[in-house]
Amino acid sequence: MAQNVDKHVLWFRQCRTCQAAIIWAVTVSGKRMPLDAKPEVRFILNEDTGTTSARKTYMSHFATCPNAAQHRKPREAATKT
């Protein structure tokens, strides 16, 4: 199955906190999510035929960003006294 990714939907950017190259993509539920721009090649195994097909996969940048906490600031930020 060909996955036709519309290039216009993807935004190539830099993470504003760690400066890593990221891609803003859209989830199936319509939310924007940042991905690491560098893909990892993984293989999909078809257990019926014993064949594999390579797929590019991307990590969520929320998982790899060293400053991820800054991306989701809590509403009550720093109210400690």
Of 20, 55, 50, residue with least CA distance to 38: 20
Instruction: Compute the least distance from the CB of residue 7 to Zn ion, in Å.
Output: 23
Judged by CB under 5 A, the residue of 18, 23, 26, 37 near Zn ion is 18
Check binding of 35 to Zn ion (CB under 5 A): no
Partners of 44 in beta bridges:
53
> Near Zn ion by CB under 5 A, which window of 6-14, 23-31, 42-50, 64-72?
64-72
Cα–Cα distance for residue pair 31/23, rounded to 1 Å: 13
The residues that touch Zn ion, with contacts defined as CB under 5 A, are 15, 17-18, 65
